[in-house]
Copies of this chain bind each other. A is one copy, B any other.
Amino acid sequence: MASVLGKRLKEARLRIGLSQAQVGINAGMDQSVASTRINQYERDVHVPGFAVAEQLAKALKVPSAYFYAVDDQLAAWILAYAKIPASDRRTIMEEAGIAPRRL
């Protein structure tokens, strides 16, 4: 597999229930190229640059890092981040024994 982005993009699109063209249009692409480009991304024919990936992430309501998670468990972990209230994240990380200050 050239990249995981195609797989995650399709996952996220089907979850919301949009067509390939609609995702592209919602991400700001011209309707004349939207369908083709999303299809190329999902089938790993081409890989979008990060600026485009960010627009796709907004359109599909996932963090952009989700598209680059190779491990399915990590992908779910990243989705969890978006669903958990910000105030609870620190608590979870503290309970897990992670010091958030030291990156």
Contacts and interface: CB of A to CB of B under 8 A. Distances in A.
Interface residues of A, number: 43
A50 B103 contact: no
Interface string A19-49: 0000000000000000000000000000101
A4 interface: yes
Tell me the number of copies of this protein.
2
Contacts of A98: 76, 79-80, 83-84
A76 B103 CA distance: 6
Nearest to A12: B103
Interface of A: 2-5, 11, 15, 47, 49-51, 53-54, 63-81, 83-84, 86, 88-89, 92-93, 95-96, 98, 100, 103
